[in-house]
């Protein structure tokens, strides 16, 4: 394929790796870099995977995924997300990242425009260019202070060529969720055009604010134009298992998505699909404890921000992250992250990795235990104070 | 992406599914359709996967794959294939099909020509068009009688635009292996040009003829232009596990391949990589018993062919398949397969699925136990006799 400049190494890993390396060298590092939940995969899921392997669920499956899993996912989407989903419109993929790639590959044609809210997950732009090198990416910046969407601006850039809008709430990296009013206003804008809405809801269950999660696929006003993407990585700490899914109500898109799956992946590992079945049977209480950890960490970070004149932050409500404005430090995000790592042994992710215009932010992962997070915060505080003194 | 006409559903599954359905309805069907080994995944591999899951190997891994697995694969390639491989040039992918897609995506640019030997695995042509919709596929037919490569013809179509040649020995669907003389002659032709040679060696260990398997990557005359693809599905009956790998000695191609992996797959499921480590520790004796089954089945089929005037067959030496010439039956391959399924309850795969010019062949899988295979043969014999009488 034509390899465009967007297709670079995923830099998100760089700082976490450096931190890991320093850790191995005996220095105590605190990694606030990666997007992995801090808890282990629940044992019931591991037990189910083991049983399936020993029962011989080690052969090819239906390319779309085993029927029982697709049925249970459809039920989940109906019950929890008010999406009128049918098992035959679900495709189980090796990761939700792959789910997005399959959808983009099936939809985008040369010259099509794809709208992306910035800052965004670092793989979105490369994924669009891998799916269609001649697609045009239209970036829409969220508001710098509160991460809201400028709906008038959005409306102004939607045109005949707009084929896809890619949405991700709870949002990585900002931690923003859409509140009901903003959600409805956005749906109205989206309903005025016939583009496909891809809604990546991978952080749905990581919600430490209590703001209800709203799914675009539930809105009849958007008809059958919403592709919902989700997975098991974040809600069940299954990042290394590589399993996600997409719901594609549009039959002609589903057909192409299914063909791409057949020729790229054959199917998702069969016994891992059986493990995912067990995941969907787990009570939500499992995740509620974890959300408490995220909430406490978020509050600690907010307290630090409130005390520190040179940082600001829109509030984090869901997902694993908070996105901190460091403009007043006078440092670029890469300098901030590099120096913080060297001087204080804390890894976080430079904002520039989530968009060119976001070099005045850094992303902080809330995903570690409170004690280590507190220490991380204390070190960031020291770093800010020293930086203030030097200035 | 531009979806070209090559990107269709994988029809290989169609007949096996029909057979499964009839089986479920109580009719005894014999499936000689799919490419799955008949034995179960060895228990040591399942044990290793379980241990890894319970040890917490459930998180992201290095995108290229865990270092210990890449080191062991490199050692295997050195020891068994005489390929001067280094762990840092290995990428572990979710399936060898994905390995091929990553390589093609990294290499092919619009207008590039890609040479494919026909008949070929049904996903090859769609995979090329998914990787680069504007690539040009040059099909080279193997000889209809003995499945040999016409080297003069091959030489004549190689040109400045030739960027990739895709080779697959032991071959699916013909069962052909390259003998040393033909291998050397082919290497000489390949050495005259600077195209990339992708060698899909997934059937390497399924070798019921004793003909030694030869790897293009071992040939210094081809320098660093050989990408070797292999996996665990066929040798260890891990089809449903989705794990394969590629060795890419060319650093600039490896870099792009690695980026595609990061943005499409993140990594291959982590504990499955640990299971693959255990697979590489298994003695080859494991597979030798199975090769005996394949050999017996191959001999039974050859005996049937020798008795039946309307079928012919080039000999199967490796892999899971034999490819039978049915031209003298007067039936198309789809008619042959459909009628055989309805009249005698035997599923096999129409030759036309492996290439337009191969509608006078059917593919027979040797991968089931001898008793059922014998019954399949007896039914095919009945079918041939009846067809003869009707004519």
Nearest CA in chain B to A43: B54
Q: What is the pLDDT of residue A143?
A: 95
Give chain B positions within 8 Å (CB) of A8.
Answer: 259
Question: In Å, how far is A65's CA from the nearest CA of chain B?
Answer: 11
pLDDT score, position B178: 96
- The residue in chain A having the minimum alpha-carbon distance to the alpha carbon of residue B52 is A46
Q: In this complex, do A10 and B262 lie within 8 Å of one another by their Cβ atoms? A: yes
CB distance A240–B271 less than 8 Å?
A: yes
B64 cis-preceded (ω within 30 degrees of 0): no
Partners of B242 on chain A (C-beta within 8 Å) are 94, 265-269
From the CA of A184, how many Å to the nearest CA of chain B? Answer: 32
Question: What pTM did the predictor assign?
Answer: 0.95
What local confidence, expressed as pLDDT, does residue B388 receive? 87
In a 3-state reduction of DSSP, which class is residue B230? strand
- The domain limits of chain A are 12-41+285-390, 56-281
Task: Kindly indicate the confidence band of residue B282, based on its pLDDT and cuts at 50, 70 and 90.
Answer: very high
Query: How many alpha carbons fall within 13 Å on the CB side of residue B388?
Result: 11
A-B contacts at Cβ under 8 angstroms: 168
From the list B59, B94, B98, which residue is nearest A240 (CB)? B59
Query: Does the pLDDT of residue B323 top 80, yes or no?
Result: yes
CATH number of A56-281: 3.40.640.10
Q: Measured between beta carbons, which residues in chain A are less than 8 angstroms from residue B97?
A: 263-266
Shortest CB distance from B240 goes to which of A57, A127, A258? Answer: A57
Smallest Cα distance from B50 to chain A, Å: 6
By Cβ distance, the residue of A126, A238, A265 closest to B98 is A265
pLDDT of B227 > 80? The answer is yes
> Which residue of chain B has the CA closest to A264?
B98
Contact B263 A123 (CB under 8 A): yes
Please, which pLDDT band fits residue B11 given cuts at 50, 70 and 90? low
Tell me how long chain B is.
391
Nearest neighbour of B260 by CB, restricted to A130, A265, A270 = A130
Q: What is the ipTM of this complex?
A: 0.95
Residues of chain A in contact with residue B54, where contact means CB-CB under 8 angstroms, are 46
Strand partners, B114: B137, B164
**Who among A2, A262, A272 is closest to B269 (CB)?**
A272
What's the confidence (pLDDT) of residue A123? 95
Closest residue by Cα to residue A167 from A207, A135, A200: A200
Averaged over A27-32, what is the pLDDT?
88
Question: Which residue of A lies nearest to B269 if distances are taken between CA atoms?
Answer: A241
Specify the fold of B43-280.
3.40.640
Residues of A in contact with B47 (CB under 8 A): none
Calculate the average pLDDT of chain B.
94
Nearest CA in chain B to A66: B240
Q: Please say if the pLDDT value at position B218 is more than 80.
A: yes
Of B49, B240, B258, the CB nearest to A270: B240
Q: Which of B59, B109, B253, B279 to mutate to test the interface with A (most CBs of A within 10 A)?
A: B59
Average pLDDT over residues A285-298: 92
A260 contacts B130? CB cut-off 8 A: yes
If pLDDT is split at 50, 70 and 90, which confidence band does B284 have?
confident
Region of poorest pLDDT, from A9-23, A189-203, B14-28, B328-342: A9-23
Mutate which: B3, B37, B135, B264, vs A, most A CBs within 10 A: B264
Higher pLDDT, A27 or B76: B76
CA distance A16 to chain B (A): 12
Percent of chain A clearing pLDDT 90 (strictly above):
87
- Judge contact between A228 and A216, C-beta under 8 A: yes
Q: What is the pLDDT of residues B198-214, one digit of tens each?
A: 999 999 999 999 999 99
Q: Which of A3, A241, A259 sits opposite B256 (nearest CB)?
A: A3
Tell me which chain B residues have a C-beta less than 8 angstroms from the C-beta of A61. Answer: 240
Question: What distance in Å separates the CA atoms of residue B123 and residue A82, rounded to the nearest whole number?
Answer: 37
Of 2.120.10.80, 3.40.190.10, 3.10.150.10, 3.90.1150.10, the CATH number of B12-41+285-390 is 3.90.1150.10
- Whole-angstrom distance, CA of residue A149 vs CA of residue A391: 34
**pLDDT one-digit tens code per residue, A153-165:** 999 999 999 999 9
Whole-number pLDDT of residue B15: 67
Token digits of residue B326: 């049915």
Nearest chain A Cα to B133, which residue? Answer: A1
Q: Which residues contact A330 (CB under 8 A, 6 or more apart)?
A: A391
Mutate to test the interface with A, among B54, B262, B365 (most CBs of A within 10 A): B262
Whether A348 contacts A364, CB under 8 Å: yes
- pLDDT in the model for residue B4: 84
CA-closest candidate to residue A6, choices B129, B1, B105, B260? B260
* Predicted pLDDT at B12: 62
CA-wise closest residue to B93 among B287, B252, B276, B279? B276
Question: Cα–chain-centroid distance for residue A176?
Answer: 11
Q: What secondary structure, in 3-state letters, does chain A show? A: CCCCCCCCCCCHHHHHHHHHHHHHCCCCCEECCCCCCCCCCCHHHHHHHHHHHHCCCCCCCCCCCCHHHHHHHHHHHHHHHCCCCCHHHEEEECCHHHHHHHHHHHHCCCCCEEEEEECCCCCHHHHHHHHCCCCEEEEEECCCCCCCCCHHHHHHHCCCCEEEEEECCCCCCCCCCCCHHHHHHHHHHHHCCCCEEEEECCCCCCECCCCCCCCHHHCHHHCCCEEEEEECCCCCCCHHHCCEEEECCCHHHHHHHHHHHHHHCCCCCHHHHHHHHHHHHCCCHHHHHHHHHHHHHHHHHHHHHHHCCCCEECCCCECCEEEEECHHHCCCHHHHHHHHHHHHCEECEEHHHHCHHHCCEEEEECCCCHHHHHHHHHHHHHHHHHHHHHC
Whether B6 shows a pLDDT value over 90: the answer reads: no
* Confidence check: pLDDT of A16 > 80: no
């Amino acid at each position: 394929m034509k390899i465009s400049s967007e297709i670079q190494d995923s830099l998100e890993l760089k700082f976490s790796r450096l931190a890991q390396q320093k850790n191995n060298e005996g220095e105590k590092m605190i990694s606030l870099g990666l997007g992995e939940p801090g808890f282990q995969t629940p044992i019931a899921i591991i037990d189910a995977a083991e049983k399936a392997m020993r029962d011989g669920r080690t052969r090819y499956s239906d390319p779309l995924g085993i029927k029982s899993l697709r049925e249970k996912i459809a039920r989940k989407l109906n019950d929890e997300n008010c999406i009128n989903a049918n098992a035959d419109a679900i495709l189980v993929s090796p990761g939700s990242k792959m789910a997005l790639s399959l959808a983009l590959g099936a939809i985008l044609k040369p010259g099509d425009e794809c709208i992306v809210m910035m800052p965004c997950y670092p793989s979105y732009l490369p994924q669009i260019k891998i799916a269609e090198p001649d697609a045009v990416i239209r970036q829409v910046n969220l508001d710098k202070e509160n991460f809201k969407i400028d709906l008038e601006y959005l409306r102004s850039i939607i045109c005949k060529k707009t084929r896809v809008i890619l949405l991700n709430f709870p949002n990585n990296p900002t931690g923003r969720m859409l509140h009901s009013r903003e959600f409805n206003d956005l749906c109205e804008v989206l309903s005025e055009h016939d583009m496909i809405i891809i809604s990546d809801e991978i952080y749905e269950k990581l919600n430490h604010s209590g703001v209800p999660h709203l799914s675009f696929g539930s809105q009849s006003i958007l008809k059958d134009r919403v592709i919902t993407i989700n997975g098991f990585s974040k809600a069940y700490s299954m990042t290394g298992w590589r399993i996600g899914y997409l719901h594609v109500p549009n039959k002609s898109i589903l057909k192409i998505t299914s063909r791409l799956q057949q020729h790229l992946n054959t199917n998702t590992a069969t016994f891992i699909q059986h493990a995912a079945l067990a995941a969907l049977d787990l009570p939500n209480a499992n995740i509620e404890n974890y959300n408490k950890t995220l909430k406490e960490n978020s509050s600690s970070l907010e307290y630090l921000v409130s005390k520190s004149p040179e940082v600001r932050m829109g509030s984090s409500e869901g997902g694993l992250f908070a996105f901190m404005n460091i403009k007043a430090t006078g440092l670029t995000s890469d300098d901030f992250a590099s120096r913080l790592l060297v001087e204080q042994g804390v890894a976080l992710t430079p904002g520039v990795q989530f968009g060119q215009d976001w070099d005045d932010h850094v992303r902080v992962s809330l995903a570690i235990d409170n004690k280590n997070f507190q220490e991380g915060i204390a070190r960031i505080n020291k770093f800010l104070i020293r930086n203030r003194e030097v200035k």
